Amino acid sequence: MLDDTDRRILRQMQAEPGASVATIAERAGLSHAPCWRRIRKMEEAGVIRGRRITLDRRKMGQEVQVFLRITLDKTARNAFDAFITEARKIPEVEAIQTLLGRVDIRMDVAARDLAHYQQIYRDRIMALPHILDVEALMLVSELKNTESLPI
Amino acid sequence: MTELDATDRAILAALRRDGGLNAKEVGDAIGLSQPAAYRRIKRLEEEGVITGRSLIVDRAALGFEVVVFLGVKLAVRGRASMADFERAVVAIPEVQLVQHVLGVYDYRLKVVARDLADFERILRRRIMTLPGVGDIESNVLLSDEL
């Protein structure tokens, strides 16, 4: 179980994931060795799972990012499994999530430009099985993107 | 636009697989010396290709069982209302992701909550009270498949 000290360490690590153990220890009000041991323990227990970088896709030559909201034909047997298996094969699909709500699946697609997106959409996405409806949201700008939890 | 060569792309691919790698580990993974890898990573950060780093924690272990994606439409359009909404929404600690989008909604949000009751509280007290907010659609995350 995590105690308040663990949470204090996590808060500092969330605020600056690249900070050294010495910095984290100082900000969390601990000495170096116990802080290091606690971080190590949280990593081993899987509480800290790792680190992620965020990228500016446009600077990587991917000008177009589209979030697809997909409704599946649930009368078809195994609609979810069949859809997800095929969707995973599309290299431009960067995330697939199943949802409970008005739509069943959301998928992130990254493309070089609109022509490239159109080609992926026509040739690959529309060929996926059991689609009833697709809605697209196109990214204009990202104002916040963090994994930080309010702990 | 920044010109990325094959080495830059290999560095980015390695860091996307594991954002916790240090310069030496990135170098080892793609056959580059530590100083060379360090210089390139530093440059990618300075040029804004790498925009940040996040710590990934086990949500459930910390008591956050619910993730909800929200589609938000603004009731009032115009630059002033967008700026007010954006300033207020990014300040909500339970909101992890804010994206301005084109389509049936104006904004996409990702919200973390302890449980559905906690989500309802966040929705009512924090999201529905945002300036200019109109129609809201909630979809609860069931599973990450990729």
Query: Residue A65 has what pLDDT?
Result: 95
Domain containing B31 equals: 6-46
Residues 57-86, chain B: which have Cβ within 8 Å of A?
A: 57-59, 61-62, 64, 69, 71, 86
Query: Residue A149 has what pLDDT?
Result: 93
Residues A69 and A126 in one domain: yes
Domain containing A76 equals: 57-138
Look at residue A93 and tell me if it is in a domain.
Answer: yes
Please state, in angstroms and rounded to a whole number, the distance separating the CA atoms of residues A112 and A142: 18
Mean pLDDT of B75-97: 89
Look at residue B99 and tell me if it is in a domain.
Answer: yes
Residues B10 and B66 in one domain: no
Q: Which residue of chain A is at minimal alpha-carbon distance from B9?
A: A60
In this prediction, residue B2 has a pLDDT band, given cuts at 50, 70 and 90, of low
Look at residue A146 and tell me if it is in a domain.
Answer: no
Look at residue A52 and tell me if it is in a domain.
Answer: no
The CA radius of gyration of chain A, in Å to the nearest whole number, is: 21
Examine the pLDDT at B78 and tell me if it is beyond 80. no
Let me know: does A87 contact B140? Beta carbons within 8 Å. no
The nearest CA of chain B is from the CA of A14 a distance in Å of 5
* ipTM of this complex: 0.86
User: Taking the complete model, does pTM exceed 0.90, yes or no?
Assistant: no
Examine the pLDDT at B145 and tell me if it is beyond 90. no
- pLDDT tens for each residue of A96-143: 999 998 899 999 999 999 999 999 999 999 999 999 999 999 999 999
- pLDDT tens for each residue of A54-104: 888 888 889 999 999 999 998 988 999 999 999 999 999 999 999 998 899
Q: B102 in contact with A at a CB cutoff of 8 Å?
A: yes
Q: For residue A29, what is the domain's CATH number?
A: 1.10.10.10
Look at residue B12 and tell me if it is in a domain.
Answer: yes
Let me know: does A49 contact B58? Beta carbons within 8 Å. yes
| C-alpha separations of A20 from A17, A27, B20, B61 in Å | 9, 11, 12, 24
Look at residue A49 and tell me if it is in a domain.
Answer: no
Mean pLDDT of B114-119: 96
